Amino acid sequence: MEVSLQIYGDFSGYTDIARGTSRLFGIELIRNFRQPYLSRNITEFWRTWHISLSNWLHDYLYVPLGGNRNGALSTYRNLMLTMLIGGLWHGASWTFVVWGGLHGLYLVAERAIGVSEHRGVRPPIRAGQLPSKLFTFALVSMTWVFFRADDFGQAMDVFRSLFSGSGGLPIEDVILVGVIALEVLLMDLYARRQPALMKVLQYPVVEGFAYGMLAVGVIVWSGGGGAQFIYFQF
């Protein structure tokens, strides 16, 4: 979870900074993230995570390869090739190949069992969707281990620690990760339900309190120092 939150906060955060800076110059960039960790399946995840790259992979790799026009087996092959190339785009490392390959396998499996996600307005969040959302988040988090690791040995160490129960985080770090996860979830829920919640923020007291808490959160959880963006190399 910690790696998932770090990557999401890093990438989504600096793209929001880029969008805000561009607006100052009258340039409107596309929205690159639409609450991807609230996705019900991997297909939906890739339509809400790094949308510009997802569209590029679809339009310039998947479709030219044949897309889904030549039967099931060709579709599965095209999905795998697209995601493997997407992994290599991030770097010439076997860890990125595995990251892309796992996502390719997920997408092939979903296509094989008939899972789909319609483009357009996403359905409202309901309690019955929670298991599929948690399962999707778990699948994505497993791939992030390979994405973030320097090599296979480091990735395997993480999985050994995870499944053996050893190498756990200190309780204060667990609390910190939990608080950050809650903040991310609340912000994504707010973004999903923004039209309704914006009516509540029209009250000056509520708006002041909300922005004040955000400012306090930035100060408290900033860590007191700068860090290089994870995605600076891509």
How far is 115 from 121, CA to CA, in rounded Å? 17
Q: How many CB atoms lie within 10 A of CB 189?
A: 14
Ordered DSSP codes for 7-66: HHHHHHHHHHHHHHHHHHTT--PPP--S-GGG-SSHHHHTTTSSHHHHHHHIIIIIHHHT
Q: Cα angle vertex 210, ends 204, 213, to 5°?
A: 135
Rounded-to-10 torsion of CA 233, 4, 215, 229 = -10
At which residue do the structure tokens 């990125």 appear? 96
Q: How many CB atoms lie within 10 A of CB 156?
A: 13
How far is 85 from 100, CA to CA, in rounded Å? 7
Q: How many CB atoms lie within 10 A of CB 196?
A: 9
Q: Does 90 participate in catalysis according to the annotation?
A: yes
| Active-site annotation holder among 50, 58, 90, 103 | 90
3-state SS class at 69? coil
Catalytic annotation, residues: 90
